[in-house]
A and B are shown apart, each in its own frame.
Chain A
Amino acid sequence: MLQYLLRRLLGMIPILFIVTIIVFLFVHLIPGDAARLVAGPDANKETIELVRKDLGLDKPIHEQYFTFIGNLLKGDLGTSLKTHKPVFDELAGRFIPTFWLTFWSMLWACIVGILIGIVSAVKRNKWQDYTGMLIAVVGISIPSFWLGLLLMQLFSVKLGWLPTGGLEDWRGYILPSITLGTGVAAIIARFSRSSLMDVLKEDYIRTGRAKGFAENSLVKRHAIKNAMIPVITMTGLQFGFLLGGSVVTETVFSFPGLGRLLIDAIATRDYPIIQAEILLFSVEFILINLVVDLMYGFLNPQIRYS
């Protein structure tokens, strides 16, 4: 297990390295002169040169990269062009709301998705299956921003039960979590169904049936456990979907999280914020995938030793 852990950790390093390079190059990829953009449209030549020096853009590119990495390791992500506060402070206050939003979305999506998947697989080609899968395909196809606005229209504007946006207390999490989790719940439902159906075709299940085990206990005690292993990996990948989706959902509900900050930063061309956000989201995603891989290896010894 330790060896597997080490191998996985080492395998992560090149990806992290390339991601930092891409994020670093981000400022250089923007068409036009970054220093001019930062200095603003009215800046004169001297100011632009001053800004260029300030940002370290006058140094050779590899030197700039090492400075960038050095600062990164110290937790220095630069300064916001809009508020002139450190980017780290700007992100810190936004991280927790987005974390809880993705957490609650993933939690309900897993529970509901797996339940629908199991029921559909067990009741294959019966009405329960058709209903479950119809709900799932609609869940995948529904635009999250539309679903969010419909929920807001019903529960906030018409009924007045929940806030239309913002985050004053826990009620501010309810509608955004439902909105964000729907697509993931649908994907998990479809995947759990096909995974459980595959397991139910296995020899050992047939043997169990032949020996006269009740179908119910066969599914509960023997099939589900094995069927859920691939679902875990799948769920890990869906975290990417959630992290990305949080941008849309947070915009719909004016939710004070990282996603909303990103869209605001793009609108105001606050490049240090954009850069830090993309880095943060990617590193988070890579780490989640690592955890999922480790869990997978833990649950399935075959993977560990291959």
Chain B
Amino acid sequence: MQKTKELEIMEEVLPQSYEKTVGKSPAKEFWKKFKKQKLALIAGVFIIFLIVISIIGPFIAPFDFAKADYKQTLQGPSWDHWAGTDAFGRDIFSRIIVGTKISLLVGFISVFAGAVIGTILGLISGFYGKWIDSIIMRFCDVLFAFPGILLEIGIIAILGPGLENVVVAVAIFTIPMFARIVRSNTLMLKSSLYVEATKSLGAKNFRIIWRHIFPGAISSIIVYFTMRLGTSILTAASLSFLGLGAQPPSPEWGAMLSAGRDYLGSAPHITIFPGMAIMLTVLAFNLFGDGLRDALDPKIKD
């Protein structure tokens, strides 16, 4: 009963242009805009390819990624070893394939955790306002007061080096960004007519937030999520490069690159290929995110 009432009022308050889009699903609308972006499409296909690799990687890698072969150390790219071998004679190409999973998982888990917490904080902050808003926003200000990667480095200095701690650090770093974006979306939606209409019908706060405000913010969240994925993968690789994340002999790309630093003169391929893997992955997420933004939510700027 209440639902139909809600619908009636919604139809009344929504502008006339709404009529034109009725019948076309939002997914179709989105696809129409998104498929025009060729680069983003290619990036999307590449991301799917990366996901597949991260699942089947260990089964298709031509060599055992962990097996040392001291007869074959520091060899350049060849037919046998496409990306050459490292100081222990391990096949770099196989290590990159197996390492895909690490980078994608670290990026995804950390951003997801940060996004969930940040979104909840942003919804609460924007919807309830007053003192709770002040507290949450000051908390964000403080996190933002630590420049760039330094917050993550500080957290790892406390927790100790390791990949799990990198995930925690990147997640904490991500919280305030989502909190701010979701808060501004919430503030905008809160004063919109359809939310006021639902409120006047006696809907509970939780219902308004969950059913009416959160869906309105979701396109911003998705866009930002994708864009943060690239940055987080890059940050995690940087931390591993600094020796604060994944430790050797892990085939994590940043750690591999770091191990190749001593052989820059004699075997530059040890650093070149893992670096290329990082760049292409991050580039794919950034291009995909740009495309999503243009199709879903042009309001968000760089």
Contacts and interface: CB of A to CB of B under 8 A. Distances in A.
Nearest to B301: A194
A278 to B, nearest CB: 5
Contacts of A285: 145-147
Contacts, number: 136
A143 B147 contact: no
A187 B275 contact: no
B158 A15 contact: no
B147 A266 contact: no
A157 B261 CA distance: 12
B149 A143 contact: no
Given A137-B286, A247-B150, A29 B158 contact: yes
A103 to B, nearest CB: 15
B234 interface: yes
Interface residues of B, number: 45
B32 interface: no
B154 interface: yes
Interface stretch (B81-89, B216-224, B276-284): B276-284
A291 B268 CA distance: 43
Contact of B148 (A26, A137, A245, A267): A245
Contacts of B157: 26, 266, 274, 278
A81 interface: no
A30 B142 CA distance: 20
A141 interface: yes
Contacts of A190: 302
Interface string A8-22: 000000110011001
Contacts of A274: 154, 157
Nearest to B258: A145
A248 B149 contact: yes
A30 B238 contact: no
A24 interface: no
A146 B279 contact: yes
A243 B147 contact: yes
A235 interface: no
Interface in B276-302: 276, 278-279, 282-283, 286-287, 290, 301-302
A144 interface: yes
A150 B271 CA distance: 8
Interface string A30-59: 110000000000000000000000000000
Interface in B159-175: 159-161
A136 B298 CA distance: 19
B142 A19 contact: yes
Contacts of A152: 264
Interface string A233-252: 00000011111110110011
Contacts of A239: 147
A288 B271 CA distance: 35
Nearest to A140: B286
Interface residues of A, number: 49
B243 interface: yes
Nearest to A284: B147
Contact of B279 (A18, A26, A143, A241): A143
B153 interface: yes
B87 to A, nearest CB: 16
A236 B242 CA distance: 26
| Interface hub of B157, B242, B243, B287 (most chain A Cβ within 10 A) | B157
A137 B43 CA distance: 12
A266 B154 CA distance: 9
B257 A149 contact: yes
Contacts of B272: 150
Interface in A246-305: 247-248, 251-252, 262-263, 266-267, 274, 278, 281-282, 284-286
B230 interface: yes
A194 B265 CA distance: 42
11 contacts: A141-B279, A142-B279, A143-B279, A149-B275, A157-B265, A194-B302, A243-B150, A266-B156, A266-B157, A285-B146, A285-B147
